[in-house]
């Protein structure tokens, strides 16, 4: 079984490097149970894949880069919404932990779920952290997921401000689906627990904060959260950052009376999101703004 898994991974890596669109089709069918409609995309998942390989993605690498995107956000006049940056490194051995605050977050700038949360610097194993970071720097994220724009990101390690609420509860993640300056629905992630296989709760809200649990596939994960105090400010940030994009996901946090920008995502779940119902996939697909699509 292990040999089969290694062979499959090797095959996917080969396709991802030389035939990424073919790999995208293969992974889509494997996960969604049907062929992707390349000629006439209808669902949001199909549009994510279609835009990846048919539209102008020249800006996507910058937006997916957790370091370079900061400059983009600043140029949009939204620098105040970024967490503080403590350092950026090409060489992990140059990290001087003695110069860092007691709490911070370490991330790879080019991947997904490559995060180390440090809540007490005195309790960390610096050598183990550096070992993990070195592994991240060697990982060319994007081949196996058929997301070519990630592959072009110059790999770095960044260290940012640790965001925490006064009650020390897990942050609520507001993932807004936006279409050319128009936020529509938020996928709201709560009670996130990275120590238990990325355990979390989920709900969908519209811009008036009406819940839409009918759009969620796994009803056991449903969890309602209060209307964010700064909802209007969140929507303002989304309108600015999403302007000009047929679709983009803007991830925000609201911490102690302030909105923070988490990340910008053009390829939500790599175009293979099964957390939502087929109906919601169709609804979001209809929202994609065809008028601002620029072809390659």
pLDDT tens profile 274-291: 999 999 999 999 999 999
Match domain 36-82+165-296 to its CATH number in 3.30.70, 3.30.465, 3.30.160, 3.30.470.
Answer: 3.30.470
When mean pLDDT is compared across 19-23, 89-93, 109-113, the lowest value belongs to 109-113
- Cα 296 from chain centre: 23
pLDDT tens profile 28-87: 999 999 999 999 999 999 999 999 999 999 999 999 999 999 999 999 999 999 999 999
How far apart CA 184 and CA 136 sit, in angstroms, is 34
* Domain range annotation of the chain: 1-32, 36-82+165-296, 84-162
Place of tokens 């811009």: 207
Backbone φ and ψ for 59, nearest 5 degrees, come out as -95, -10
* Model pLDDT, residue 269: 96
- Contact by Cβ (8 Å): 176, 261: no
pLDDT tens profile 148-206: 999 999 999 999 999 998 887 889 999 999 999 999 999 999 987 765 556 889 999 99
| Local structure of residue 185 (DSSP, 8 states) | E
Q: Is the dihedral of CA 193, 197, 203, 209 positive or negative?
A: positive
Of 247, 250, 236, 248, the closest CA to residue 289 belongs to 247
E strands along the chain, which residues? 85-89, 104-108, 115-118, 157-160, 173-178, 183-193, 199-206, 248-255, 258-265
Question: What is the number of H-type helices and E-type strands within the chain?
Answer: 9, 9
* Model pLDDT, residue 8: 87
How far apart CA 209 and CA 229 sit, in angstroms, is 11
Per-residue tokens: 102: 């007691």
Per-residue tokens: 247: 């679709």
Q: What share of the chain is helix, strand, coil (3-state, %, to 5)?
A: 40, 20, 40
């Amino acid at each position: 079984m292990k040999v089969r898994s290694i062979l499959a991974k090797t095959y996917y890596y080969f396709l991802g490097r030389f035939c990424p669109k073919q790999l995208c089709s293969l992974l889509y069918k494997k996960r969604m149970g049907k062929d992707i409609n390349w000629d006439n995309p209808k669902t949001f998942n199909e549009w994510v894949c279609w835009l990846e390989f048919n539209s102008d993605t020249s800006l996507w690498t910058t937006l997916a880069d957790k370091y370079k995107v900061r400059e983009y956000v600043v140029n949009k006049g939204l620098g105040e919404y970024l967490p503080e940056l403590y350092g950026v490194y090409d060489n992990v051995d140059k990290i001087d932990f003695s110069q860092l605050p007691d709490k911070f977050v370490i991330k790879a700038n080019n991947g997904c779920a490559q995060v180390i949360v440090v809540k007490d610097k005195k309790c960390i194993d610096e050598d183990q952290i550096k070992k993990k970071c070195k592994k991240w720097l060697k990982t060319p994220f994007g081949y196996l997921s058929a997301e070519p724009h990630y592959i072009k990101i110059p790999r770095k390690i960044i260290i940012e401000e640790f965001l925490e609420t006064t009650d020390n509860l897990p942050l609520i993640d507001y993932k807004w689906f936006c279409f050319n300056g128009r936020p529509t629905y938020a996928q709201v992630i709560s009670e996130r627990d990275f120590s238990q296989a990325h355990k979390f709760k989920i709900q969908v809200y519209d811009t008036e904060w009406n819940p839409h649990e009918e759009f969620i596939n796994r009803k056991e994960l449903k969890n309602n959260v209060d209307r964010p105090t700064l909802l209007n400010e969140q929507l303002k940030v989304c309108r600015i950052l999403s302007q000009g994009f047929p679709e983009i996901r803007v991830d925000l946090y609201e911490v102690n009376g302030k909105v923070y920008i988490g990340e910008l995502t053009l390829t939500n779940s790599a175009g293979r999101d099964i957390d939502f119902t087929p109906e919601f996939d169709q609804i979001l697909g209809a929202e994609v703004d065809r008028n601002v699509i620029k072809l390659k």
